[in-house]
Structures are given as C-alpha cells and as structure tokens.
Structure 1
Amino acid sequence: MCGIVGVAGGIGERLGSALKKCLERLEYRGYDSAGVAVTGAGGIIVRKGRGKIHEVEARFNFTALDGLSGIGHTRWATHGKPSDENAHPHVDCTGEVAVAHNGIIANYRELKEQLTARGHRFISDTDTEVIAHLFEDYVKAGLPALVALRETIRRLKGSYAIALLYSREPDRVFFARNVSPLVVGVGEGFNFLASDIPAFLGYTNRVITLHDGEYGYITPSSVYVEKNGEPVNVEGRVRVVNWSPEAASREGYPHFMLKEIHEQPKALRETWAGLDMGYVSKLSRIIAEARRVFITASGTSYHAGLVLDHLLAGLAGLDTHVFNSSEYRKYLRLVREGDLLVAVSQSGETIDTLMAARVFRERGARVLAVSNVVDSTIPRESDYQLYTSAGPEISVAATKTFTAQLMILTALAANAALYNGGIGKETYSLIMSELEQAPDLVNATMINVEARVRHIADKVKVKASAYYLSRGIGLPIAMEGALKMKEVAYVHAEAYPAGESKHGPIALVDQGFPVIFTVTDDDYLDPLEGNAMEMAARGAYTIGILPSKHYARLGKVFTEVIQTPDASPYLLTIIQSIPLQLLAYYTAVLRGYDPDKPRNLAKTVTVE
C-alpha cells in the first residue's frame, strides 16, 4: 500500500524536486516514512527518514538532489516499524543498488537467511531489502542488469511493484510488477514510473499500465518491457487519460476530502454520461440469467455492494450472496459454471478483491468488474467491465467514487429487474430518470445541509462513540456513515439495523449518546419512528437524515434533523450519503485531525 515513483530524463527541474512533487500526490498510499534516491556521476545518493514527506524534506532537503534518474517512496508500514532505517529506498552492500518496493515478499525470511549466510549485511527489518541484495549477487556473478532483475524476481514469492536504480547504468530505472500496481508515464525526453497515475499528471497524461509478470526499464527516450525473457510490445497500450493536473490538486479547498465531496455532482454527471446503456442492458441480462450472483468488495465499496445485493434481491428477485473480499474462501465450494461474480473496487487493484475474482474465474464463474480506473488489474482480468468516471480520488476516505458506484450499480439492478419482470416500465423509468437528476439533487443537498451538518459536528466532536441506525436499503448507507466517522474522526461508530438496536446495543445509550438515523424506505417509517423514540427516551442525542416529505411526521421525533430532497429510496442512497460524509469530515477537522491522512490507513490495500 506504499507509493513508489521513478523518473528517467530531464524534466526542466531538479530530480529531487520532481520526486517530491510526485510523492506528495501519492502520500494517500502511506505516510509513515519517505525517501528518494538519485543516480549521477557520484553514484547513488539516498535521503530518507521516518515521517510525512514535508517532515522528511525539512530534515534532509532531498529536493536539492539532481541526477540522471531517480526513485522515490512513501511508506505504509507492513514489515518493520516506521523508522529511518526501515524507510525506502534500500541499498545493497556496495551502495550501487537502490530499491523502492510496494507489496509483500512472502519468502523474505528464507531469502534473508540465505543472503546473510553468504555475507550480506542487512540494515532494516523490511522484506524489501532482500531485493537489493539478490540483485547485487546476480550482477556480481556477471549477469547484465536486466537479466539480474529477471533472476531476482524469479526468487520472489508474493506481491511487488519494484523501482530499482543501478549506478553502472545511471540513465535507467528498472522495474518489475506482480499484483501490486505500477504504471508508466510517457513523456518527451523523459519517462516516469508510479504506483498511480496522479503522481505524474503534472508532467504527462500518456500512460502505459504494466501487467503482472512484466519487468524492464525506462530511459529518457524509451520504455522496454519483458515477460519470461521475451520482449513485450507496449506501444499499443499507450492511452491518454483525461484527468487534469488540477483534478489531483486541492484547488483552494483545505482538504482533498472536502474537495471530493463537492466534486460529486460533476462525478455523477460524467459517470452518467459515460454509461453505454446498450452495454448496461447486455450486462443486466447476464446478471438476470446467472445461476447465482455473488457480490464482493472491501471497505466503502462493500457498502456499495450491499446496495446492489438489496436491489437485485428486492427488485429482481435474484439469488444473491454478498461478502467481504477477504472472506472469499467461505464460498469456494458453492461456485459453479453459470455463476457470476460482481467485483467492486474503486482502484481496481484491491488485493482481496483481486484474489476473489481470480479464484472465482478459475472455478468457472464469470466476473463483472466495477472500477474507477480504466485498465487496472481487476477489470483487465475480468470478463466484463463497468467504469465510473469520478476522476482521481486522493483522500484516503472514499466519497465521490462511492456515490458514482451507487449510480452505476442502481442502473444495473434496475435493468436486470426490468429484464426479468421484477419491475415494470413505469418503475424502471422513475429510477432511471432520478439517476439522471442525481447531480442536481446532490448539489442542492450540499448547498442546503452543509451549514447544518457543521453545527451538528460541533456537538459530535466531543463524543467518544456513536450509533448509525437504519432499515432496508438505508442500512448500507448508515454503515458507510459509521465507517467514515471511524476513518477520519476516530470516533467509535457502529451501524446496526435499527430493529437490532434493542438486542444489545441500546444498553450503551445514555444521556447525549449520538444516534444517527437514515430514513429511506417509506415502508419502515413506523418502526423507525419507534426506534428513534426508544433512543430519545434514554437521553440519546438523535439525528435524523430524512427527505423533506417526512419532516411533518418525524421532525419532532429527533433532536436534530437534516432534510434532504424528496426522492425514491433508490436515489436517497446517493443523496443521504452526502450529509454523512460531511458529518465525518467536519467532526474530524473540529477534533484537529487531517481527514486526508487518517492514521494507520492507506488508499489502496494491495497486501492481504
């Protein structure tokens, strides 16, 4: 879940400065430590340390470095605690090799023992350092650098994206990829490597996505790729991304999270415009005719998957099973030919979801991927692909990608239900018309509720815990609200079906305990009203998020009310996500936390 970057060639500024800028755009992938290495006439220079990028820069001034090529790394610790010694890049015994790595080398202990027995000296506790020493052994044995890299990665088990400098070939940055993401940025007189596209958007928007098992090098004028010792022609893979550099900057907002919350009308509008309804209709038939539909995802995407599960079962009457990706082994004995797996991942690189998709395909299921990143690994390895058009999302906490996922998945479910007769044309037309109006309704929601939400956040900021309750299709949205509050504000928040609150959780409720209700389904008004009154009777600070049409009935039931535009439950999933996102954001800020960089978290989980 770390971020790596590499650059070869002249880019009109010092390499150290460029590497720092790129790393700052990757800091959402980890911020325990950071470092850079550059090659030049004096060999390899490495500067690194524990802390966020600006802190490490203040100590070591790596922006002053220059050279022919360079690599950088921002770390999310897996093997070895955050420390100066464990920061990347790592070097070999001679100082002629420097390596930055994202992923996990599963057999590093075995390799480290073998290398230590041959006299290699290890400085860090990381798994990454074995890569530098293996490469050192092979070049000492007389192998050319590229062959040494090939032999090195043959020894590795696990996941990796590697950027490597070798001082005897100073104009090259070597690379290798297996499972962990790695892309090439193609420039004029320079080329980049990075874990994610936003890293180099300020320099080029021409991209090559590398595939598993590929390795090679970049120079200022070329990109060379091999797999299993055979050259790979990647010219046909070059694509131009339409993300602007400004899209990956804060543009005056205090945090990326707030910027991305406010970008949701645009993200939804572009996602809707980008949908090929003929293709959606085709996919809906495949879903409706599947023997069984499995849905898998992690984190925020899992909550979007729960909404899809609710819609496919409730509207289309399909046999569906939704599960967290990391628990895919539970379902392996159930999978047969004729089954379909819907794999949802905003990055398209989430390791648990990727593993689930691979195993399900091996057992005969077809896979439909829903992602925000074209040509990322999960869509590339799937039978069918649907893409959101939310643009780059930098904040660790997903916001605009979540609502864009809800839009696509709701459209997919509505089409499947129409196809198999679960709903008629009138209901179908209502759902699709509302989805088309979603950008405007989300924008109106933002304008109408933000000040109110900030007022409520000022009260929630002093609370240690909170409950998020709902029923029906609103429950996944309540779960997402609780996750956001935990992620960025560090408030212990739990979501439950409102009816389950009486079976244990209500025991914790006392004076001032925050309980947030999302009200979506008209069928659940009576029991939700009762649940809210039960909480109020115990002194809870109750907050109701509800469409305006229910205010006359429920307005006085809650301590605080956040009114949203009137809509069907299918659109309220999107609309009611907005105040929940804002509540988490403002609570975090008022508690003095940086919501873009929540502790212990990274944007894309690429290790199991």
Structure 2
Amino acid sequence: GALARRRAQGKLVNLEQRLQGEPLAGHIGIGHTRWATHGAPNERNAHPHATGRVAVVHNGIIENFWELRNELEADGYAFETDTDTEAVAQLLTRALDRGMSPEAAVRDCLPRLRGAFALAILFNGEDDLLVAARRGSPLAIGFGEGDMFIGSDAIALAPFTDVITYLEDGDWALITASSVAIFDEAGQPVERPRQKSVGTALLVDKGNHRHFMLKEIHEQPEVVQHTLSNYIDFSTARARPLNAAIDFAAIDRLAISACGTAYYAGLIGKYWFERYARLPVDIDIASEFRYREMPLGAGDAALFVSQSGETADTLASLRYCKAQGMAIGAVV
C-alpha cells in the first residue's frame, strides 16, 4: 500500500485529535516524538519524513547531513524541511531510484551516515517490512503474538511485550509481522539474544501523579534511600566497603558529563565534591564535552550521569574519555 502520514506540533494529544478526524488504516506504522536539533519545532519538521517512496523516523544526529544534502540537491532531489532526518530519506530514495531493492538501499546508505542514530524505515509498496538500524543510539525489538515492535528501550515497549532483543551498535534488522533478520555493521547475519524484561510496566505508569516529572520528584526520597542502601548499613549507620572504579583520594581532578536533568544532578555533585572532598570538578553538558576535547591529565577521572544509561551524547563522551585511558565511573 501507499505511505500515509499524520503529524502534529506540540503535545501528543494534538496528534490524537488529528487521527480522530483523519484516521489511518494499515498493518504497519512508525512514529516518533521529536526533540528539535535541526530545524524549528513545527509540523513541517516533525517525523516521519517521507519522500513518496520512503518514510523515516530518527532519534539522534546525522553529523554529515549538510554534506549529504548538498550532494543530493546536486542530483536533483528537493528538500522540504531543515532537518538532518530528511537527508536519510532522500539518500534511500536515490538508491531506490537507481534500481536497488529496499534491503540493498539500506546496505548502501547506512555506511554513508556519520553520527549517533536509531532509525525506523518504511518503504512504499512494502506492506510487511520494517527496517530498524542503530549506531550510538539504543534500539530494541519487541516480540508479540503475530506482531513485532521496535522502540528505544524495554520501557517504551512494556505496554506491548516483555520479550525483547537489543540491537548492538552498528546492527540493522529486516522485520516482518512474524520474523526478524538481524545484520551487523559489516552486513553479516547475526543472532542477538532474546530476554524477558521485568518490572518495566511500573515505570510507564504515572500512578496518581499528573505527569512523569512530578512522579520522579516525589519518588526522589525513596530513590536516594534505595541507592544509599548499597553503600550504607542503616541499622548501624556505617559505610559498606566501596568497590569503586575511581579512587577519589588518588585523583587530582574530576570531570562530570551529563545531559538534561542528569546535568543538574551533576551540578549538585560538583558542589559536594568540591566542598567536602576538596576535589576540583569540571562539569559539562555531554553534547558540548564530546566536541571540545578538554585537555585531560593522568590524574584526572571522569564521572558520567544518565537517567537511562543510554543517552547518546553521554555515551560518546564516555568513549572519548575511555580512549584517553582515564578512570571512568557512572551514575545511572
């Protein structure tokens, strides 16, 4: 069948209302709530991006999208948006126009992309094919009964299934309603283990709270107590032996890297480390840290803070510091 698309700006309720008036029919679909990194947060730039032959949703950043866009525009492909995601859709469309099959188009295009991304791709006329690909950003496949799902993690898939497979970095997959074929970055078929997720349904339940942020705020005392219980025996008020990756008494400086609310938690950590441990601390938003290439010394250590443990910029910063031979720690 032909590709059909519905989008809306703002909250999800706006999209729900549009679908009530303009319902979609079909057996396969993709969707994404976009945080604007390239292009204004409006309906024109909202996902999915489609060309008539391909529809794409994308989490992450295509770092070489201007290079790809200039190349494609020189070949006569007109862009409708300011986003990096449309470059992926147009690149796949050009491969199809050159006579490639959907699978061959994916094989041809993925090596051209630079950056951290997770992709979901539909092809016009392919009623039982969904392509998923990841590099740097997380992506999981969920197994239902006669249906399949993809999402950023087990929490996103929890309302639908608790049987999942995590794609590894560089993997891509051809998914139908009843089968999955996974390939590694070199294009070779691979098997990835299935696992059963436990307790994730509770994490997507707001309970009696108006929204998830309020839920997280009210859960802070319980979360802090649970975390500290790993290191403190509350019955004796004595600390347990700490098997840490960083010997804080032996380092000269600590670099903290995080995004979003995890960054604000890191700011509190900076205050405590400097006040109580007398340890100099630098803190950066991970998306800046990974590009500024901060001078690092032998006595430095790095601490990474992430709510999910899968924040793409934070992971990229971690890899950079690890490559420098630094002592690494994480708070998740």
- The match for 1:367 is 328
Aligned residue identity for 1:250: K
- Larger C-alpha radius of gyration, 1 or 2? 1
**Quick check: 1:231 aligned with 2:189?**
yes
* Match among 282, 301, 317 for residue 322 of structure 1: 282
For 1:322, give the aligned amino acid. D
Alignment of 1:423-438 (within 5 A): none
Kindly indicate which of the two structures has a greater share of residues assigned to helix. 1
Contact 2:128 2:177 in 1 (8 A): yes
How far the C-alpha of 1:177 sits from its partner, in A, is: 1.4
Task: Quote how far apart the aligned CAs of 1:174 are.
Answer: 0.5
For residues 4 and 210 of structure 2, the distance between their equivalents in structure 1, rounded to whole angstroms, comes to 34
Query: Is the 1:335–1:363 contact (alpha carbons within 8 Å) kept by the matching residues of 2?
Result: no
Report the Cα offset of residue 154 of structure 1: 1.4
Residues in 1 aligned to 2:290 and 2:80: alpha-carbon distance in whole angstroms: 37
Q: CA deviation at 1:282?
A: 1.6
Contact 1:183-1:209 at 8 Å conserved across structures: yes
Q: Give the superposition deviation at 1:345.
A: 1.6
Candidates 283, 286, 289, aligned match of 2:244: 283
CA positional deviation for 1:179? 2.4
Note the C-alpha offset of 1:132.
Answer: 1.6
Cα deviation, residue 283, structure 1: 0.8
Structure 1: gaps (5+ residues)? 1-41, 372-608
In the alignment, structure 1 residue 255 sits paired with structure 2 residue 211? yes
- 2:297 maps to what in 1? 335
Comparing 175-184 with 264-273, greater Cα deviation is found at 264-273
Q: Which amino acid aligns with 1:323?
A: I
CA drift at 1:248: 1.4
The CA distance in 2 between the partners of 1:284 and 1:362, in whole Å, is 16
TM-superposed deviation, 1:280: 6.5
* Match 1:216 to one of 152, 173, 195: 173
Matches within 5 A, 1:344-359: 344-359=305-320
Partner of 1:79: 38
Measure, in 1, the Cα distance between the counterparts of 2:106 and 2:291: 34
Which residue does the alignment assign to 2:68?
Answer: 111
Q: 2:244 is paired with a residue of what secondary structure?
A: helix
Assess if the C-alpha contact under 8 Å between 2:206 and 2:215 holds in 1: yes
Q: Give the Cα separation in 1 of the matches to 2:151 and 2:70.
A: 31
- Supply the distance in 2 between the matched residues of 1:298 and 1:96 (Cα, whole angstroms): 36
Equivalent positions of 1:54-453 (< 5 A) are: 54-61=13-20, 64-92=23-51, 95-226=52-183, 227-235=185-193, 238-244=195-201, 246-272=202-228, 281-283=242-244, 286-290=247-251, 292-312=253-273, 315=276, 319-324=279-284, 325=286, 326-327=288-289, 332-336=294-298, 339-371=300-332
CA deviations over 1:179-232 (Å, ceiling 9, x no partner): 233222232322211234433211113333333322123222333322221223
Unaligned ranges ≥5, structure 2: 234-238
Deviation at 1:270, TM superposition (A): 4.2
Alpha-carbon distance change, 61 to 270 in structure 1, aligned in 2, over 3 angstroms? same
Q: TM-score with structure 1 length normalisation?
A: 0.48
Cα separation, 1, equivalents of 2:35 and 2:117? 14
Deviation at 1:259, TM superposition (A): 2.6
Report the AA paired with residue 366 of structure 1: A
Cα distance in 2 for partners of 1:213, 1:85 equals 29
Indicate conservation of the 8 Å contact 1:293/1:321, yes or no: yes
What is aligned with 2:236?
A: none
1:276–1:115 CA distance, 2 compared to 1 (3 A): farther
CA distance in structure 1 between the partners assigned to 2:165 and 2:308 by the alignment: 16
What's the % identity of the aligned pairs? 39
- Contact 1:150–1:215 (8 Å) recurs in 2: no
**Is the 8 Å Cα contact of residues 305 and 322 (structure 1) preserved in structure 2?**
no
Opposite residue 36 of structure 2, the aligned amino acid is: A
- Greater RCO between the two (CA within 8 Å, min separation 6)? 1
CA gap of 1:146–1:52, structure 2 versus 1, over 3 A, is same
d(CA) in 2 for partners of 1:320, 1:151: 48
Q: Does the 8 Å CA contact 1:344/1:369 hold for their aligned counterparts?
A: yes
Question: How far does the alpha carbon of each residue in 1:383-415 deviate from its partner, in whole angstroms, 9 at most, with x for none?
Answer: xxxxxxxxxxxxxxxxxxxxxxxxxxxxxxxxx
Q: TM-score, normalised by structure 2?
A: 0.83
Letter matched to residue 333 of structure 1 = P
Aligned length in residues: 324
User: Matched residues in 2 for 1:139 and 1:213: separation?
Assistant: 22
**How many Å separate the matches in 1 of 2:249 and 2:17?**
57
Is contact 2:50–2:89 with CA below 8 Å preserved after alignment?
yes
Q: Is the 8 A contact 1:162 1:175 kept in 2?
A: yes
Are the equivalent residues in 1 in contact too, given 2:141–2:150 (CA < 8 A)?
yes
Q: Could you say what secondary structure the match of 1:98 adopts?
A: strand
Distance 1:117 1:297 in 2: 39
The answer to whether the 8 Å contact 2:60/2:312 transfers is no
In structure 2, the residue matched to 1:420 is none
- The whole-number CA distance in structure 2 between the counterparts of 1:274 and 1:139 is 54
Give the letter for the 2:45 counterpart: N
Q: Which amino acid aligns with 2:146?
A: G
Local SS of the residue matching 1:203: coil
Kept after mapping to 1: 8 A contact 2:154/2:200:
no
Contact 1:297 1:344 in 2 (8 A): yes
